[in-house]
A and B are shown apart, each in its own frame.
Chain A
Amino acid sequence: MRPVAIIGTGQTRHSKRRDDVSQPELVREAAAAALADADLRPAEVDAILISNMELFEGRAFPELWAGAGAWAIGKPCLKIATGGTSGTSACIAAFHQVAAGCFDTVLVVGFEKHSEGHTQAGMALTDPYWDRSVAAGALGNFALSVCQYVQERGVSERQAAMVAVKARRNAAANPHAHLQLPDLTIEEVLASPVIAAPLRRLDMCPQSDGAAALVVAGEASARRRCRRPAWVKAAVTRHDKPYLGDLDRRLATMRTLRQAAAVAYRQAGIDDPVRDLDVAEIYEPVTYAELAWYEALGFCPDGEAGRLIEDGVTAMDGALPVNPSGGVLSTNPVGASGVIRVAEAALQLHGKGGARQVEGARRALATGYGVYAWSDVIVLESAA
């Protein structure tokens, strides 16, 4: 794929309810921030890609209405939706459209306004013949998968609680994050009520209103416009079978993430991710998933994820800080969450991380997770 780079990012203030904005205005807030960051005027954007799981808000074709927020009127604009991977999917689609030579600059905006919908109703629309009558949402699905994962890999709830603490404390340094709990302790996490065994309330991601945007540019434009473009070194997608029961032991095996990461690392020249990457923004809907992703992403051998978090390898001062933004555990507008991962990875390379900046970050990983086992893996790199 020809060289393309991310040259600017922007996010809204994510929160439980953004009653102060409509969906188009939420899109506008993120789009404007990304354009300002990229020093681009709206007229200079060649095309727009929107990421949104509109059924959660009870809508269809949301870009028809909300696209105006991204200055999409009169421009090429498409909407991408692939569950939780919608955001990373839309970013990858932008990479492809720019690398194809169609456009010099593409604006990607992911958004979700859960407070304006009924996410559970949306989530309940699964296969009507097979599992709709027993559907228990993302919570139920993850609880089942975590039950198996714990049995097999032996992670403890204390180790999971460490992930929760890391995420919410990191989020405190992120002005955009929804849940900011700078003084959260392991004990507090372990004291939070069990909502679906073994998951406790503080093990789960929230539902947030929010939007995130970024600007993808072709090589010439990127070099001209951006001091430190975040170049796309790899962008790999893998999907898997459609039923939860097809993916037995899915957290432990997560073959899509394993293969996507292996291919991405090869493309990006990464041999040892912990050594070769400077920062990672991974899509972790529950604490235990982050531990499973450590193994799937090759940060540690299978069975060692608990040790990795205990040793502080993925803390802000560790060898590979994971989710300086606070991750999905702190902020989760579904259509935006994938874009947030890529944006947060890119802004680290841009040196715009503020209080959450990983010093000298040059190589970043961003992942997307969706439905049961869909995976996107993106590697970004900036020049020295």
Chain B
Amino acid sequence: MSQPISVSHEMDLAWRYASGEAMERFCAGLTDGRIEALRCAACGLRYLPPRPFCGDCRARLTEWVAVGDEGKLEAWTEVQVPMLDAGTGRPRATPFAIGLVRLEGADTTLNHFLAETGAGRLRVGARVRARWRSERAGTMADIECFEVIG
């Protein structure tokens, strides 16, 4: 079989994403080191990320509630293979750990990096706390990661 001819393309595109009102307020809160969720008046679910609508009740979300920056580690993993980092466009250094954190005051879990690697400290049920950056810009990266505190 002859060699295939290949035509290569490089994509360099940009999109302007509107945050929406709920996320705009949430991000403003992050700058102040504050986390807030939206609570459904019908079912009581406290949503992170905050969003316009409760999908179960089919009702608009309007009630803001405070959420702590500590909670429980519901799931964790340590990734060994280089994954594309959407921020830098380059593979992330390995190993890195991520987890699902249920913050006090929220009913959904939050997906974020974990400070520790290694199964020693990471376990389902561990108490974790957000490690905030000193300089914050109103993005989820204002939280550098979550640390196990107990």
Given contacts A120-B84, A132-B86, A133-B86, are A197 and B9 in contact (CB under 8 A)? no
B75, CB-defined interface residue at 8 Å:
yes
Shortest distance in angstroms between A57's beta carbon and chain B's nearest beta carbon?
A: 10
Which of B60-68, B105-113, B127-135 is the contact stretch? B105-113
Shortest distance in angstroms between A146's beta carbon and chain B's nearest beta carbon?
A: 8
Cβ-neighbour of A128 out of B1, B9, B17, B111 (below 8 A) = B17
B148, CB-defined interface residue at 8 Å:
no
Is B109 a contact partner of A136 (Cβ separation < 8 A)?
Answer: no
Is B140 a contact partner of A248 (Cβ separation < 8 A)?
Answer: no
Give Cα distance in the complex from A126 to B83, angstroms.
Answer: 14
In A10-39, the 8 Å CB interface with B consists of 19-20
In B24-61, the 8 Å CB interface with A consists of 27, 47-49, 55
Residues of A within 8 A of B113 (CB): 134
Give Cα distance in the complex from A2 to B108, angstroms.
Answer: 41
Is B75 a contact partner of A144 (Cβ separation < 8 A)?
Answer: yes
Which of A237-245, A319-327, A340-348, A376-384 is the contact stretch? A237-245
Give Cα distance in the complex from A245 to B49, angstroms.
Answer: 9
Residues of B within 8 A of A135 (CB): 83, 86
Shortest distance in angstroms between A150's beta carbon and chain B's nearest beta carbon?
A: 9
Give Cα distance in the complex from A105 to B1, angstroms.
Answer: 36
Interface 0/1 of A124-146, CB less than 8 Å to B = 11111111111111011001110
Give Cα distance in the complex from A152 to B109, angstroms.
Answer: 17
Shortest distance in angstroms between B32's beta carbon and chain A's nearest beta carbon?
A: 17
Give Cα distance in the complex from A196 to B76, angstroms.
Answer: 10
Shortest distance in angstroms between A42's beta carbon and chain B's nearest beta carbon?
A: 26
Is A129 a contact partner of B77 (Cβ separation < 8 A)?
Answer: no
Shortest distance in angstroms between B142's beta carbon and chain A's nearest beta carbon?
A: 10
Is A241 a contact partner of B78 (Cβ separation < 8 A)?
Answer: no
Give Cα distance in the complex from A20 to B17, angstroms.
Answer: 39
In A148-200, the 8 Å CB interface with B consists of 148, 151, 193-199
Give Cα distance in the complex from A131 to B140, angstroms.
Answer: 8
Is B4 a contact partner of A19 (Cβ separation < 8 A)?
Answer: yes
Residue of A nearest to B77 (CB): A143
Is B119 a contact partner of A243 (Cβ separation < 8 A)?
Answer: no
Residues of A within 8 A of B149 (CB): none
Is A245 a contact partner of B78 (Cβ separation < 8 A)?
Answer: no
Is A136 a contact partner of B83 (Cβ separation < 8 A)?
Answer: yes
Give Cα distance in the complex from A246 to B110, angstroms.
Answer: 9
Is B79 a contact partner of A58 (Cβ separation < 8 A)?
Answer: no
In B3-17, the 8 Å CB interface with A consists of 4, 9, 11, 17
Residue of A nearest to B117 (CB): A197
Interface 0/1 of A242-265, CB less than 8 Å to B = 011110100000000000000000
Give Cα distance in the complex from A153 to B80, angstroms.
Answer: 25
Cβ-neighbour of B100 out of A20, A126, A144 (below 8 A) = A144
Give Cα distance in the complex from A129 to B20, angstroms.
Answer: 10
Given contacts A140-B77, A196-B81, A197-B119, are A133 and B49 in contact (CB under 8 A)? no
Is B80 a contact partner of A245 (Cβ separation < 8 A)?
Answer: no
Shortest distance in angstroms between B59's beta carbon and chain A's nearest beta carbon?
A: 14
Cβ-neighbour of A195 out of B75, B81, B111, B139 (below 8 A) = B81
Give Cα distance in the complex from A20 to B99, angstroms.
Answer: 41
A68, CB-defined interface residue at 8 Å:
no
A147, CB-defined interface residue at 8 Å:
yes
Is B140 a contact partner of A245 (Cβ separation < 8 A)?
Answer: no
Q: What are 30 A-B interface contacts by the 8 Å CB criterion?
A: A20-B1, A58-B9, A58-B11, A124-B84, A129-B23, A129-B27, A130-B140, A131-B111, A133-B140, A134-B98, A134-B112, A135-B83, A136-B96, A140-B77, A140-B83, A144-B76, A144-B77, A144-B98, A148-B124, A196-B78, A196-B79, A197-B78, A199-B77, A241-B55, A243-B49, A245-B109, A245-B110, A246-B108, A248-B74, A248-B100
Q: Which residues of B contact A (CB under 8 A)?
A: 1, 4, 9, 11, 17, 19, 23, 27, 47-49, 55, 74-81, 83-84, 86-87, 96, 98-100, 102, 108-113, 119, 124, 139-141
Known: A120-B83, A198-B77, A244-B109. 8 other contacts (CB 8 A): A58-B9, A124-B86, A129-B49, A136-B96, A139-B79, A140-B83, A140-B98, A248-B102
List 10 A-B pairs, minimum CB-CB distance, nearest first. Answer: A143-B77, A245-B109, A124-B86, A120-B84, A147-B75, A144-B75, A245-B108, A19-B4, A196-B79, A148-B75
